Amino acid sequence: MKKLLLLTMMVFLIGALFVSCGGKKEAAQTAAPAATTTQAAPAAAPAAKPAAKLKVGMVTDAGTIDDKSFNQGTWEGILKAQNEGLVEAKYLKPSGTTEADYLKEIGNLYDAGYKFIILPGYKFETALYIAQDKYKDAKFVILDGEPHTADYVTYRTEPNVVCVIWNEHESGFLAGVAAALHIKEGEVGFIGGMEVPAVQKFNWGWQQGIKYANENLGTKIVQKQENNLYQGSFDNVAAGQQIAASMYDKGVKVIFAAAGGVGVGAINETKSRVTAGKEVWMVGVDVDQYPEGLLPNGKSVMLTSAMKYLDRASYDMIKAELAGTFPGGQTLHFSAANNGLGIPPVNPNLSAEVQAKVSEVSQLMLKGEIKVAGELLPGFFK
């Protein structure tokens, strides 16, 4: 009996031992997954801030931003860059046209963060001579000028300045050829604003174009000293109208005006004459002025225009800055050879034959077979 009891207790102890071991193993197996760690997902990188747009400023020359000429042409190139989302643009109109007036507005643009500044015209030359040193971290583009002292003794262009110069005589030449071919015979006139190099070159090129057409293309155009003059300003609209009226009264058929607001007066007189039944024409300047010559009937008194591609110059300089290729310290020359000037590609008042002939002449200029002088030649009017 004692043996049986002892045997029963041993069996019970052995069974309990197995149950205990099995329970520990199962607990271990159950706990194991809880000990497994999961790697946390990396935090998302903060979104990059969009690059700040280049802030481009412009100070207007004499006249308004919509002067149908130099200011407007320059501003249109800047607006093109802004419309493409490349820049933020702003212009300021000075209260006057002195060096101090220009420096004040340059400073106002700079203080507002507009550190790429375009200056349209030679009148900014002395102001820029000072500004290029005062605002060394700004970039400047001057059209039709180079920085110099007030006494013209010292010319200096710093690395933060680009000067753009046009061969106005070449576009004046092409406009002269076109006008001569259109009217074939008769008198033409020229009205300049101030007697400054850019305006003079337009005049000299115009006269050379007329002469070329007479000698090579069978035209019979007359030029007289009395119909070739400078009014002395760029903003006297009334004077421009009076001068144009006098020329038309003397038999002039076409007037080329390189005169800003003075030219606007000449356009107004031409519109009045055409409305009254006269056949007279204008040739525009700097930009395609065909729209400025429009009459209520939809026709324009603008025969063609001697263009400087101002919008292309301002736009190209902005693009150069954005690309890191701003040609600081240089003077760039825009000419017929690099497609920097010419007459408009579309001239509704010129026949296809005349436009084709002008295109031929332009190609001869590109090849160097026709050379147009940028200075006063013997036998021409000053």
Domain ranges of the chain: 54-166, 168-307+351-366
Amino acid at 57: G
Taking residues 244-264, report their average pLDDT. 96
Please determine whether the domains at 54-166 and 168-307+351-366 fall in the same fold group of CATH.
yes
Q: How far apart are CA 272 and CA 263, in angstroms?
A: 14
Mark residue 184 as left, alpha or beta (left: phi above 0; alpha: psi -120 to 50; beta: remaining): left
Distance between first and last Cα of the chain? 151
DSSP string, 156-195: ---TTEEEEEE-HHHHHHHHHHHHHHHH-EEEEEEEESS-
Residue 111's pLDDT band (boundaries 50, 70, 90)?
Answer: very high
Of 10-19, 159-168, 264-273, least confident by mean pLDDT is 10-19
Residue with tokens 């005589």: 169
Contact at 8 Å (CB) between 341 and 365?
no
209: tokens are 């174009």
Nearest to 334 by CA among 141, 126, 62, 117: 141
Taking residues 375-379, report their average pLDDT. 93
273: tokens are 């004459």
Contact at 8 Å (CB) between 240 and 263?
yes
Longest dimension (CA), the chain: 158
pLDDT, tens digit (0-9, with 9 covering 90-100), for 55-89? 999 999 877 898 778 899 999 999 999 999 999 99
Nearest to 355 by CA among 345, 365, 367, 366: 345
Nearest to 240 by CA among 187, 185, 189: 189
Residue 235's pLDDT band (boundaries 50, 70, 90)?
Answer: confident
The pLDDT of residue 47 is: 53
pLDDT at 31 over 50: no
The pLDDT of residue 320 is: 98
Taking residues 296-313, report their average pLDDT. 96
pLDDT, tens digit (0-9, with 9 covering 90-100), for 217-233? 999 999 999 999 999 99
Fold of 54-166: Rossmann fold (3.40.50)
pLDDT at 39 over 60: no
73: tokens are 């042409």
Q: How far apart are CA 105 and CA 96, in angstroms?
A: 10
pLDDT at 10 over 60: no
Q: How far apart are CA 267 and CA 270, in angstroms?
A: 5
Q: Give the global pTM.
A: 0.79
Calculate Rg over the CA atoms of the chain. 38
Q: How far apart are CA 259 and CA 229, in angstroms?
A: 11
Fold of 168-307+351-366: Rossmann fold (3.40.50)
Count Cα atoms within 13 angstroms, Cβ side, for 207: 23
pLDDT at 326 over 70: yes
351: tokens are 């026949």
CA separation, residue 227 to residues 139, 251, 278 (Å): 42, 10, 19
The pLDDT of residue 64 is: 85
Taking residues 98-110, report their average pLDDT. 98
The pLDDT of residue 46 is: 53
- List, in sequence order, every residue forming a beta bridge with 283; answer none if it has no partner: 256, 304
Q: How far apart are CA 219 and CA 238, in angstroms?
A: 33
Q: Average per-residue pLDDT in the chain?
A: 88
pLDDT, tens digit (0-9, with 9 covering 90-100), for 170-185? 999 999 999 999 999 9
Taking residues 325-332, report their average pLDDT. 98
